Amino acid sequence: MENIQSNSLYPCGRPLLSYPEPMKLVILGVTGSIGRQTLDIVRSNPHKLQVVAVSCHGNVEVLQQELALLAEACPDAPLPLVAVTDPLARAGAAGQFSNRLLGEGPSALIEAVEAPESVHVVVNALVGAVGLAPTLAAARRGVRIALANKESLVVGGELVKAAVFAHGAEVLPVDSEHSAMAQCLSGRTEHEIHKLLLTASGGPFRQISSDALQKVSLEEVLNHPTWNMGPKITVDSATLMNKGLEIIEAHHLFAVPYERIEVLVHPGSFVHSFVEFVDGAVLAQLGTPDMKLPIQYAISGEKHWPLPGSRLDLLKIGQLHFEEPDLVRFPCLALAIQAGRDGGSATITLNGANEVAVAALLDRKIRYADIPRIIEEVLESESIHPVGCLQDALAFDTQARRAAGALVARLSQAEREV
């Protein structure tokens, strides 16, 4: 159902889908940081929400613990279908989930979206480009997508938009900055937006010199000052690649050109983002750093349901502080902005190279400072092409990973020889 008034992926000014309670949820990536917080929300709202399918990759033990807690909180709800995408872990789990266990590999994520008889909301809390195909499957099902997996839009923003418009689905952002913008945009159209102001905590290395950045340890990289998140996004927050991915995410969600999306470093993470309107009015959404608020706001269809937790004390905070991001010390941000502006396959190459580099850092094969070098070299070596379909996107992703993998091998070899 296309609306000529509004062309943004996020349904600016368009009516949202409406569902009876309990709303039926598929949670992809249920064992992760966002996935487990989503289950917490379900357990607090057993009459409003019901889980019909979940996925994890290899962490079957956490999955079992989480599902046991869910069954305790929601004793009347039927047990959900289960996708375990890692083949070895799935083989080990076969006896535990019997006929509720879906197929093997990434296609089980599609099954988790398609198999339940009734689905209202797909929460995509997967990490990485693997999230794109299930986002497209959810769009084809014409349902609400509560999207944490920003890589879906970085790799396939145009594909997601086409599928959402063709099938009457909707994408509501879970990322806290984009949720903040959505809250500021409630009831307005994208034509009223002048500029998006995306806040960034600045990560653990905000005040560290370029020289010192060459030597930071993995433990320092993983020590985020304000948010407690999964390992990949924690590394992305330390390189500021996360903010770069979020610029691309905001561009696709709100149909705002890159030159009108700005980043503000805001160390306290109290202001989750701003929207400046065409008349000069600037709206912001503030709160303590707690992902449950944006997760719940997206799942509920933009309702402010009660949520226990700490509250913002503005008198205690006293002042709000903002700085310009440093693109020289944090080249990943500059690389992401350039890839976004270049368009086509450039953001797929950026993302694929980043995923490989981050995994190599987490495996202690390379150093923090190698990450932007790898991404830059891969971006230089890969030419930019249009992306017509999912298969194109996956082919460009594979190519970027191959190129980045070769660089990781070279760098880790050099490291061993030092």
Sites of contact with Mg ion (CB under 5 A): 175-177
Contact pattern from residue 335 through residue 364 relative to ligand NDP, giving x for each residue in contact according to CB under 6 A and a dash for the rest = ------------------------------
Contact pattern from residue 228 through residue 257 relative to ligand NDP, giving x for each residue in contact according to CB under 6 A and a dash for the rest = -xxxxx------------------------
Interface residue with ligand NDP, options 9, 34, 346, 357 (CB under 6 A): 34
Phi and psi for 369 in degrees, rounded to 5?
-70, -15
Choice between 149 and 176, CB closer to Mg ion: 176
Q: Candidates 18-26, 70-78, 123-131, 313-321: pick the segment binding ligand NDP (CB under 6 A).
A: 123-131
Q: How many residues bind ligand NDP (CB under 6 A)?
A: 28
* CB-closest chain residue to ligand NDP: 32
Is residue 58 part of the contact set for ligand NDP (CB under 6 A)?
Answer: yes
Residue 403 binds: one of ligand NDP, Mg ion, none (C-beta under 5 to 8 A by kind): none
Interface residue with ligand NDP, options 70, 132, 261, 291 (CB under 6 A): 291
Residue 27 bridge partners (DSSP): 54, 123
The span from the CA of 32 to the CA of 24, in Å, is 20
Task: Pick out residues in 128-157 that bind ligand NDP (CB under 6 A).
Answer: 130, 148-151
Helix (H, G, I), strand (E, B) or coil at 350: helix
Residue 146 binds: one of ligand NDP, Mg ion, none (C-beta under 5 to 8 A by kind): none
Compute the Cα dihedral for 155, 270, 48, 298 and give only its sign: negative
Calculated CA dihedral for residues 64, 66, 69, 71, nearest 10 degrees: -70
Is 124 in contact with 147 (CB distance < 8 Å)? Answer: yes
The span from the CA of 194 to the CA of 278, in Å, is 5
Question: Where do we find the tokens 């500029």?
Answer: 195
From the number of C-beta atoms within 10 Å of its C-beta (0-12, 13-18, 19+), residue 260 rates as: middle
Residues of this chain that bind ligand NDP (CB under 6 A)? 29-35, 56-59, 85, 125-127, 130, 148-151, 175, 227, 229-233, 291
